[in-house]
Amino acid sequence: MPSLRLAAPTPFLRRHGLLAVLLAASLAALAPASQAQEGPQLNLQRVELTAGMHRIDAQVAVAPVERQIGLMNRPEMPQHEGMLFVFEQPSEQCFWMKNTLLPLTAAFVADDGTIVNLEDMKPQTLDSHCSKKPVRFVLEMNQGWFAKKGIKAGFKLGGAPFSKK
């Protein structure tokens, strides 16, 4: 972590003191995180999911930083691949496409694997795409994948994440 070193107090620091120091420290702490987002995440754990007779090879984003980066900066993705975002508890989940180069479809998925709703998302936009009810899972695939397979809301996905415990 970069260290924060201050020389003689400037008029700004004398006036704003602790606030300025905290702001500078916060900005310094954020610098490594933004550098880590320069390239795509390609080495996350994977899980095999099924959609009827179709197999999906999904990267799994569990940690907050993995979920935050998602599929950002990825120039391409094979058609049978996707990313499964896993949250700690069901909640309304909203996604956007900042720094995401691929057109994607987000499937908002209930604990039992049932697709609650599907949302097409345009690359590099800040439009919010949300689940219609609380969910713990979101599966992103290349845009058109679900439509080509005839998969709609109410369809049930299979795989270890959706197995009853």
Q: pLDDT (tens digit, 9 = 90+) per residue, 40-50?
A: 999 999 999 99
Q: Which residues of 110-142 are buried (b: 16+ CB within 10 A; e: fewer)?
A: beebebbbbbebeeeeeeebebeeebbbbbbbb
Contact predicate 108/73, CB 8 Å:
no
Topology classification of domain 46-162: Jelly Rolls (2.60.120)
Q: pLDDT (tens digit, 9 = 90+) per residue, 11-26?
A: 443 444 433 333 333 3
Domain boundaries, the chain: 1-36, 46-162
Q: pLDDT (tens digit, 9 = 90+) per residue, 146-162?
A: 999 999 999 999 999 99
